[in-house]
Amino acid sequence: MKAVILAAGKGTRLEPVTSTRSKPMIPLANKPLLEWTVENLIHIVDEIVLVVRKDQQDIIEHFSGTLKIKFVYQDEPRGTGHALLCCEKEIDSRFILLNGDEMIPRSDIETLSKKTELQLSVFYVENPKKYGVLKIEGNKIKKIDEKSETPQSNIVSAGLYLLDKRIFNYLKKIKPSARNELELTDGLNLMFADGIVVEPFSLSQWVTITHPWDYLDAQKLILDQTGTQIGRNVKIRPGAFIEEPVAIGDGAVLGPNCFIRKYSVIGKNCRIGNAVEIKNSIIMDNSYVSHLSYVGDSIVGKDCNIGAGCIIANLLLDDKKTIKVKIRDDVIDSGKRKLGAIIGDNVKFGVNVTIMPGRMIWPNMMIPPCTLIANDIKQQPVIDLEKRVL
């Protein structure tokens, strides 16, 4: 059996962390999300067909030479249906299909691979409007209603499939959607309408990466499954306290007197200084968090320097409210009461900077000392010396 992973999406809703890398290459527990997916598949299938764009050199270089992996290139981003069509020549029987931006337990993939009928994974969510809602009769899927304003249930399509070659015939019949893309969902609905039996398969856990804060949820799932991971040549200085599970990368230095709270990940060669607290965050490789700083529920890119006394706030003054974040031109409710900052690569902070909850900072910014960051920063700021508010 083969598996196909669709990993060619651009991930614009995940900026600024995807401004400098492909979205499946965000590190979770110090390994790219896509690597966790490959590891979950490698002992189940004979070959993994990885669909990417030719400009995704981070994926291509990372997985080139990896046993069982074959690249298929999507010439332009024309949707999930088109991405799968690019694989038609590689598929000769039943196959597993996954999206490259989802985290699904290995045990679920193994169970699905042994089913006799075709399968489509399902999951219960509180807000089904964001997903494809399923109409199920008996043990047979009849339709996927994509992003309905009036969903008929809370059971949604969850991005793991067991299919066969017949799907390609249906994908060739569909027309571009309103986004001018060929949608996998449309091909599946044609299959269902023809009476082909596809059964719902319930997942035990599922995280799909739609917005940056979803990476924190995926990381929690990984750490719950794998436990604490401490790399080589890590220095844990006196007074450092670690609350498990966490992951600490090779060559990291912690402390003295720092607090690494559970579900935090510290990348390779990072430095966490005196009296620093890190809570439920991703600190990528080669980043420094200097003394007397707090980082909560945040993502910090690689090669960043957070100056002494910086505070990344993760909770509103009215702590019952959820935090809203600007994604492209829309303001999105994250649904989270606690959410800190999303910081791109190579951002440098002066001392005593305060960042308000849910703010985003694009790569390569230099943040002046003693400033309050109340808005997203996409270009190098010019500080108002009197107000010191960005």
User: Among this protein's residues, is 291 annotated catalytic?
Assistant: yes
CA neighbor of 272 nearest in space, from 244, 228, 245, 242? 242
Structure tokens at 344: 């791109």
CA nearest neighbour of 314 among 216, 248, 239, 244: 216
Distance from the Cα of residue 149 to its chain's centroid: 25
Q: Are strands 198-202 and 229-230 parallel, antiparallel or unpaired?
A: unpaired
3-state SS string for the chain:
CEEEEECCCCCHHHCCCCCCCCHHHCEECCEEHHHHHHHHHCCCCCEEEEEECCCCHHHHHHHCCCCCEEEEECCCCCCHHHHHHCCHHHCCCCEEEEECCEECCHHHHHHHHCCCCEEEEEEECCCHHHCEEEEEECCEEEEEEECCCCCCCCEEEEEEEEECCHHHHHHCCCCCCCCCCCCHHHHHHHHHHCCCCEEEEECCCCEECCCCCHHHHHHHHHHHHHCCEECCCCEECCCCEECCCCEECCCCEECCCCEECCCCEECCCCEECCCCEEECCEECCCCEECCCCEEECCEECCCCEECCCCEECCECCCCCCCCEEEECCEEEECCCCECCCEECCCCEECCCCEECCCCEECCCCEECCCCEECCCECCCCCCCCCCCEC
Q: Which of 43, 62, 82, 291 is catalytic?
A: 291
Which residue numbers are catalytic? 291
